[in-house]
Amino acid sequence: MAEPSAQHTMNASEMAAAIAQGTATSEQLVRACLQRIHERDSVVKAWAFLDPGRAIQQAQKADKHQAGGGDLGPLHGVPVGLKDIIDTRDMPTECGSDHFRGRRPANDATVVSLLRAAGAVILGKTITTEFALTGQRGTTNPHDAKRTPGGSSSGSAAAVADHMVPLAIGSQTGGSVLRPASYCGVYGYKPTYGRISRKGVFIISRPLDHLGVYGNSLRDLAMIADSLMVFDPADFDMQAPCGAALLDALNETLSSAPLKLAFVKGPPWALAEDHLEPVMQTYLRGLGERAQEVELGGIFDRALDAHSTVMDVSLWHNLSSYYLDHRDHLMVETQERVEAGRDISAESYVEATELVGSLNHAVDQLLGHHDAMITASATGEAPLGLKSTGNAAFQRMWTLMGVPTLSLPLMTGPNGMPIGVQLIGRRGGDADLFRVAKKLLGETD
Amino acid sequence: MAEPSAQHTMNASEMAAAIAQGTATSEQLVRACLQRIHERDSVVKAWAFLDPGRAIQQAQKADKHQAGGGDLGPLHGVPVGLKDIIDTRDMPTECGSDHFRGRRPANDATVVSLLRAAGAVILGKTITTEFALTGQRGTTNPHDAKRTPGGSSSGSAAAVADHMVPLAIGSQTGGSVLRPASYCGVYGYKPTYGRISRKGVFIISRPLDHLGVYGNSLRDLAMIADSLMVFDPADFDMQAPCGAALLDALNETLSSAPLKLAFVKGPPWALAEDHLEPVMQTYLRGLGERAQEVELGGIFDRALDAHSTVMDVSLWHNLSSYYLDHRDHLMVETQERVEAGRDISAESYVEATELVGSLNHAVDQLLGHHDAMITASATGEAPLGLKSTGNAAFQRMWTLMGVPTLSLPLMTGPNGMPIGVQLIGRRGGDADLFRVAKKLLGETD
């Protein structure tokens, strides 16, 4: 059990266990997190909205429920941060946009209801770039305040990395869950497309938007994701069943067969920083025969362009009304992103979307011979400066394909900044991906 | 057991049973069908390709297999007709187009492999309009040669209606399976989207193309569909599982609860012929309390336009290369269809496709209170003349939504021509739809 002064450093599984065993109360842990935020947020700037009184009230209610002998959900008493594009009925939801300043949704998003049902305490809302795009809102990297934490889930990744909260939800349309995980040195997970409801979440692209999660261990990701991966008919792009029983997968005895990973470079590596190749090669040498470089077929050369086409069209479709009616409310970065999709033909869009099935088919073939694909989670360390959130190239094609991806904080760059190892599975193969990650961590930790 | 001279009038279930029981051979039945075609096809013009010798060879092989004590597939020895957009390695596949005159595919389409595996005899290829669009290729309605059989699966529906073959496969992108079923007075079934592989089938619209089946009884449809609804990773729009166990559903004891059908008129009825309303009302009166008129919500007012947008975009996407390179090979009707999608924006296309989820959600809500929807299968009787294949308005929104539909030949128009009763279920609810149809036939036959 951590000392009270260090309770905020406990990960979510430790917090849940301590509460369940009575060695800590939810109120103590929530107060520890709030204290950490109080001390650090003037530098990190991870939080868009925080109401300490309301958070403590929720924790006290959880403790009272437990004292009364009530059943405990898997996240009972554990604080969680929410990217500020996720509607909450008791806190504002501003989507990082002046346009939504002070907006108070009437209802919780489905994921918020699921978190509450699992016993979680909603600690507050984390800073997002404007509309989850590229317009930065001031969050800094906890490891170096002169560097970006990445985006668009800037506050969620930074808050978990800085141990302000053990769990947070982010979203990914380009590379917005995994890239910040890589830059901030936390665990990040984007499930298969259509597995977490986006009802009550600000939508910028129905075919690309995914919710994802951050934590400080693989088990933490599984714990929160199992609570969130539930079919919701109100998100029209979900298909039952959605659950992947990730904790069950982690609790299984590992097979003794050696890991067989496909190191895939593919088109994104042309955009890597110079320092990435030696860092990755060092890591891969540690894996020995377990990782073998595999060429992705020529079809993948079209994946980044296809992602851009779908994203640009989606942004115009979903954001043009703001752009046309209140352009002056939008950051210049956002205006530029929205404009890009204005004149794209349906023909180009269909060509891009029809590539998705072919790419997934190619991955299915590849993963007939390998347990998962492995690569870096970003083009390099978090870049210096807060103007840009960095390059999403290492996520975009996996987002387009809707395959599950994990970022594990296992590498370090030349400036001492973290770089994630990215594991990629096949669509629907989320549990298998967690099995691979457990094995990788067990074998290389 | 039918007299040899009338063996061609047996339906598929009767043929399969007679072969299995040894009261008829596949060769006898195939010869009976070929004889019927020989007598009638100069009027009906249902067949694009027929090789009697090859059909008889297949039948003899089936009989020999049976004589040797081999296992019998569910369609053992039963002849089947294939719309001529479905690739066959041993017959030409011309897609109703001069452009493909004499084309010989190297491989069977997946559905052809599945039919052969189920023991079926591929009798021949049935006439399709050009590229399964609206350019007629001369097939007539077996009930009145001055009328269209409908299209685009003209030959498949006409051949089954004329008892030239007990089963045939068609395809539907607008209303091409159900409308010909209605006009020709046969049973027709279009499964939920993504349940029958289109690998090796000429694609005109990935989001809209469905394969479907024709027969002369509900059980016949179930029998052939069960053999075809199998996951195939080569059709990138399929998702496992695909099977619906339709025969099992028909073999269950019916529940005693009275049917509760929602009679839906919705936007297509504005396009109905004057004679349809009284014919439908007479049929509905026979159902009494079992059918109640239900208003579809305002969202359905956009469904027909949305279908047009998706279809037009798809046609340009898939057919523009033929149009641009060999326009003179295309029928004028086809040229006009292809041109329509040339200048549609991605924005319009996305708006149309995003409506699909909302429409399905509305249907799911409605079918929480009703067993199925019921309406007519076409705007009226088969129209006079062979220039037009009739109006697809009564199918187009269900095709867009990908919900399962059945046409049952239960009504007759003022000129004595058949009109189908259409049953519509929820996406994935194919077995339930067959249960409803069985009950409806039992109660009203």
ipTM of the complex: 0.90
Q: What is the pLDDT of residues B144-173, one digit of tens each?
A: 999 999 999 999 999 999 999 999 999 999
The rounded distance, in Å, linking the Cα atoms of A424 and A375 is 8
Asked if residue A311 is part of any domain, the answer here is no
At B418-443, the pLDDT tens digits run 999 999 999 999 999 999 999 999 97
B176 is catalytic: yes
pLDDT(B445) > 60:
no
Helix, coil or strand: residue B158: helix
**pLDDT band of B344, cuts 50, 70, 90:** very high
Residue A344 lies in a domain: no
Separation of alpha carbons B86 and A234, rounded Å: 37
Q: Residue by residue, what is the 3-state secondary structure of B20-89? A: HHCCCCHHHHHHHHHHHHHHHHHHHCCEEEECHHHHHHHHHHHHHHHHCCCCCCCCCCCEEEEECCECCC
B357 vs A contacts (CB less than 8 Å): 236-237
Residues 6+ apart with CB under 8 A from B266: B296, B300, B303, B375, B397
For A347, the closest of B206, B236, B316 (CB atoms) is: B316
Helices A303-326 + A346-366 axis angle, to 10? 140
pLDDT(B270) > 60: yes
Does A131 contact B at CB distance below 8 Å? Answer: no
Query: Which residue in the list B83, B190, B438, B439 is annotated as catalytic?
Result: B83
B368-402 tens-digit pLDDT: 999 999 999 999 999 999 999 999 999 999 999 99
Higher model confidence: residue B297 or residue A21? A21
Q: A315 in a domain, yes or no?
A: no
What backbone phi and psi angles, to 5 degrees, belong to A438?
-60, -45
Check B152, B153, B156, B205 and give the catalytic one.
Answer: B152
Task: Give CA separation, A60 vs A56, A78, A81, A195, in Å.
Answer: 6, 12, 18, 32
- Enumerate residues 6+ apart whose C-beta is below 8 A from A68: none
Span A313-318, average pLDDT = 98
As a whole number, mean pLDDT of residues B93-100 equals 96
Identify the closest residue of chain A to B206 by CA–CA distance: A354
Active site residue B152: yes
Instruction: Give the nearest chain B residue to A364 (CA atoms).
Output: B233
Cis peptide before B152 (omega within 30 of 0): yes
A166 within a domain of the structure (yes/no): yes
The B418-424 sheet, strands edge to edge: B47-50, B121-126, B79-83, B167-172, B210-215, B187-190, B405-412, B418-424, B372-376, B261-264, B291-294
Residues B357 and B426 in one domain: yes
Q: Does B318 lie in the same domain as B199?
A: no
Q: What is the pLDDT of residues B55-73, one digit of tens each?
A: 999 999 999 999 999 999 9
pLDDT above 60 (res A127): yes
Whole-angstrom Cα distance, residue B37 to residue A312? 55
DSSP per position, A256-319: SSPP-EEEE-TGGGGG--TTHHHHHHHHHHHHGGGEEEEPPPGGGGGHHHHHHHHHHHHHHHHH
Q: A261: buried, middle or exposed (CB in 10 Å: 19+, 13-18, 0-12)?
A: buried
Look at chain B and report how many structural domains it folds into.
Answer: 2
* Claim to verify: residue B310 and residue B395 sit in the same structural domain: no
Residue A2 has pLDDT above 80, yes or no: no
Question: Distance (Å, rounded) from C-alpha A137 to C-alpha A334?
Answer: 12
Closest CB from A236, A239, A350 relative to B313: A350
Q: Is the pLDDT of residue B1 over 70?
A: no
Average pLDDT over residues A383-400: 97
Q: How many CA atoms lie within 13 A of B217 on its CB side?
A: 15
Model pLDDT for residues A82-110, shown as the tens digit of each residue: 999 999 999 999 999 999 999 999 999 99
B384 DSSP β-pair partners: B147
Query: Per-residue pLDDT for A245 more than 80?
Result: yes
Angle between helices A218-228 and A110-117 (to 10 degrees): 110
Q: Which of B176, B205, B314, B407 is catalytic?
A: B176
Q: What is the rounded CA–CA span in Å between residue B328 and residue B113?
A: 34
By percentage, how much of chain B surpasses pLDDT 70?
99
Nearest-angstrom CA–CA distance, A88 and A11: 24
- Verify whether the Cβ–Cβ distance A346 to B351 is below 8 Å: no
Indicate the helix (H) or strand (E) that contains A354.
helix A346-366
Indicate whether B69 and B155 sit together in one domain: yes
**The domain that contains A9 carries what CATH number?**
3.90.1300.10
Q: Would you say residue A259 has pLDDT above 60?
A: yes
What's the pLDDT band for A444 if we cut at 50, 70, 90?
low
Side chain identity, residue B322: Y
Mean pLDDT for all residues in chain A: 96
- Are A315 and A405 in contact by the 8 Å Cβ rule? The answer is no
Structure-block tokens of residue A276: 């990435």
Report yes or no on whether pTM surpasses 0.90. yes
pLDDT-derived band at A266, boundaries 50, 70, 90 = confident
CA B272 – CA B284 distance, rounded (Å): 16
Residue A241 touches chain B, beta carbons under 8 Å: no
Q: What is the pLDDT of residue B148?
A: 98
What does the block give as tokens for B55? 């059909």
Neighbours of A71 (CB within 10 A): 8
Residue bearing the bigger pLDDT, B5 or B326: B326
- For residue A311, pLDDT beyond 90: yes
Please judge whether B236 and A360 are an interchain contact, meaning their C-beta atoms are less than 8 angstroms apart: yes
Dist CA A238 CA A250 (whole Å): 25
Instruction: Give residue A1's pLDDT band: very low, low, confident or very high (50, 70, 90).
Output: low
Three-state SS for B353?
Answer: helix
Residue B348 at interface with chain A, using a CB cutoff of 8 Å: yes
| Averaged pLDDT, B342-358 | 96
d(CA A255, CA A195): 26
> Nearest 5°: CA angle at B90, between B88 and B91?
70
- Which residues on adjacent β-strands are paired with residue A376? A421
pLDDT given at position B129: 97
Structural tokens at position A9: 């450093």
Element (H, E) at A398: helix A393-401
Distance from CA of B253 to the nearest CA of A (A): 28
Which residue segment(s) compose the domain that B334 sits in?
A: 303-339
Report the distance separating Cα B146 and Cα A66, nearest Å.
Answer: 79
Q: Do B357 and A237 touch (CB under 8 A)?
A: yes
Residues in B touching A364 (Cβ below 8 Å): 233
Q: Is the pLDDT of residue A443 over 80?
A: no
Angstrom CA distances, B199 to A161, B110, B196, B213, stand at: 48, 6, 9, 16
A11-48: per-residue pLDDT in tens? 999 999 999 999 999 999 999 999 999 999 999 999 99
B106 interfaces chain A, CB cutoff of 8 Å: no
What pairing do the DSSP bridges indicate for beta strands B418-424 and B210-215? Answer: unpaired
Instruction: Name the nearest CA neighbour of A402 among A236, A208, A232, A212.
Output: A208
| Cβ atoms of B201 and B211 closer than 8 Å | yes
**How far off is chain A from B155, nearest CA to CA, in Å?**
31
Among all residues of chain A, which has the CA nearest to that of B319? A347
> Is residue A117 predicted with pLDDT exceeding 60?
yes
User: Which strand ranges, in their side-by-side order, compose the sheet holding A291-294?
Assistant: A47-50, A121-126, A79-83, A167-172, A210-215, A187-190, A405-412, A418-424, A372-376, A261-264, A291-294
- Which helix (H) or strand (E) is A249 found in, with range? helix A246-251
